[in-house]
């Protein structure tokens, strides 16, 4: 019974999404002054599972992209997988599970912007499954909460969210002055390569 109920929940979400596809596309092509349909999409996704969030983007070829993310929460892995696997074919859309790894990306969080090069990392491979990170962020003490949140977004979007959730065990943050650098530190791309080499 629970399996059938789960399938019905997944089918219900995708039926809603396809029915509202044109409105979501119009939102993606707009000036983003009206977030009504995005809020409804978020509500529908959270009705399926309260941990999940929708992220929308568009490729250079004009293909719309829905990313289903648990926002770094390990408990969201299974529902993301289930919803992704039940997705229908949707014309002019790509559906992705988890934030995907990128070599280069510029991000911001609630008005805070800085390049990924402002993040320096000391990785500690404590065991064969996960890595601990000492993360140094330039100007962290200007707004610690937002700077940390943006650093986590960079982890998700450069390492890949699945790597961040499953391969990072512990994170500790440190402030880095403007002209300071940490001896022996590496960047996010180097960290991704190390994780691929050592933990897979």
Q: According to the model, what pLDDT value does residue 169 have?
A: 94
pLDDT above 90 covers what percent of the chain?
Answer: 90
Residue 147 corresponds to which tokens in the numbers above?
Answer: 């700077």
Whether 55 contacts 99, CB under 8 Å: yes
Q: According to the model, what pLDDT value does residue 104 have?
A: 87
Q: Band of the pLDDT at 7, cuts 50, 70, 90?
A: low
**Which has the closest alpha carbon to 132: 196, 191, 84, 91?**
191
pLDDT of 2 over the 80 cut: no
Q: pLDDT tens across 104-126, in order?
A: 899 999 999 999 999 999 999 97
Q: According to the model, what pLDDT value does residue 6 have?
A: 53
pLDDT of 9 over the 80 cut: yes
For the chain, the domains span 2-97, 108-198
Dist. CA 3–CA 111, nearest whole Å: 43
pTM: 0.85
Mean pLDDT of 176-192: 95
Residue 68 corresponds to which tokens in the numbers above?
Answer: 């289903």
């Amino acid at each position: 019974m629970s399996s059938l109920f789960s399938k019905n929940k997944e089918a219900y979400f995708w039926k809603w999404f396809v029915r509202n596809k044109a409105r979501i596309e119009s939102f993606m092509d707009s000036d983003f002054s009206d977030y009504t349909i995005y809020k409804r999409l978020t509500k529908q996704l959270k009705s399926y599972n309260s941990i999940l969030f929708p992220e929308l983007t568009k490729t250079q070829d004009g293909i719309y992209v829905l990313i289903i993310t648990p926002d770094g929460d390990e408990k969201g892995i299974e529902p993301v997988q289930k919803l992704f696997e039940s997705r229908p074919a949707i014309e002019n859309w790509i559906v992705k599970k988890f934030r995907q790894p990128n070599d280069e990306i510029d991000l911001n969080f609630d008005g805070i912007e800085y390049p990924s090069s402002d993040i320096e990392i000391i990785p500690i491979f404590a065991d064969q499954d996960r890595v601990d990170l000492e993360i140094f962020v330039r100007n962290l003490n200007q707004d610690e909460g937002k700077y940390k949140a943006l650093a986590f977004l960079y982890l998700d979007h450069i390492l890949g969210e699945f790597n961040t959730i499953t391969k990072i065990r512990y994170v500790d943050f440190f402030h880095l002055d403007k002209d300071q650098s940490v001896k022996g530190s590496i960047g996010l791309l180097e960290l991704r390569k190390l994780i691929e080499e050592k933990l897979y």
